[in-house]
Amino acid sequence: MTKFDEATQAIRVDETTYDVCLDPGYQIGGPLNGGYLMAVLLRAVVDDSPFAHPVSTAAQFLKAPVPGPATVHLDRIKTGKTAAFTRATLVQDGVPQIETLVTTATLTNAEPVYADGPAHPMPPLEECVKLPDPKPESNMNMNAQVDLVFDPPTLGWFTGEPTGRPETRAYFRMAEPQDPDPYVLAVAVDALPPVVFSAGQRGWAPTVELTWHMRAMPAPGWLTVIASGRLIADGWFDEDAEVWDSQGRLVAQSRQIARVGRG
Q: Is 190 in the site for a copy of itself (CB under 8 A)?
A: no
Contact predicate 112/245, CB 8 Å: no
Residue 6 Cβ vs a copy of itself, minimum distance, rounded to whole Å: 29
Q: Number of residues interacting with a copy of itself: please give it, by CB under 8 A.
A: 56
Q: x-or-dash pattern for a copy of itself, window 197-236, by CB under 8 A? A: --x-x------xx-x-x-xx------------xxxxxxxx
Q: Which stretch binds a copy of itself (CB under 8 A): 22-30, 50-58, 66-74, 169-177?
A: 50-58
Q: What's the order of all strands across the beta sheet hosting 10-14? A: 10-14, 17-22, 68-79, 84-92, 95-105, 53-61, 207-214, 250-259, 236-244, 223-228, 167-174, 146-150
Q: x-or-dash pattern for a copy of itself, window 58-87, by CB under 8 A? A: x-x-xx-------------xx---xx-x-x
Q: Distance (Å, rounded) from C-alpha 35 to C-alpha 40?
A: 9
| Residues forming the site for a copy of itself (CB under 8 A) | 55-56, 58, 60, 62-63, 77-78, 82-83, 85, 87, 96, 99-101, 103, 105, 107-116, 165-166, 196, 199, 201, 208-209, 211, 213, 215-216, 229-238, 242, 250, 253, 255, 257, 259-260
